[in-house]
Amino acid sequence: MIKARKRLWVVLASAGVLVSAGVLAGFALRDAMTFFHSPAMVAEAPPLPGERIRVGGLVIEGSVERPASGGASFSVTDTIADIRITYAGSLPDLFREGQGIVAEGAFEETGLFVASRVLAKHDEAYMPPEVASALASAEAQGALPGSTGRDAWTLGQARIGQSRT
């Protein structure tokens, strides 16, 4: 009976350690995850201030401001809603108006999105999948009139007045 009791304690202790490890891993993964939100999703259900998320869309023509102190401030759209973003770092070399970007950061109490990282597309034919999906959704909702049958990249280029090369 003593061997059985020792074995039970070993099994219970092992189960406790495994459960604890699982809970700790879950908390660590939850803190490391950042979910993508389009500007329309943010307008519908704004995330809590300070909650780390990713937002993406097309950089609106004429919205980029580069203060003398460094960094940049710009707006992105998914053709349904816009988000104003500030970024204190150096923008990627491929960043420009009218292209798809994804910014990672958090909203302030004032509603301004402060980015800690900005990702830009890497070639002319690429658009981040989240941005392409948001633009396709905008097309389905009729936000881009006359755009039936075009893919998300073409929608984005039509929005900024460029053509595919």
Q: What distance in Å separates the CA atoms of residue 116 and residue 73, rounded to the nearest whole number?
A: 12
122 appears as a binding residue in the annotation: yes
Structural contact between residues 124 and 160, judged by C-beta atoms closer than 8 angstroms: no
The CA-to-CA distance between both ends of the chain, in Å, stands at: 80
Q: Is 37 annotated as a binding residue?
A: no
Residue that is written with structure tokens 């460029």 in the block: 162
Other CB atoms closer than 10 Å to residue 162's CB: what's the count?
A: 13
- Binding-site residues, please? 122, 126
Q: Which residues are annotated as a binding site for heme?
A: 122, 126
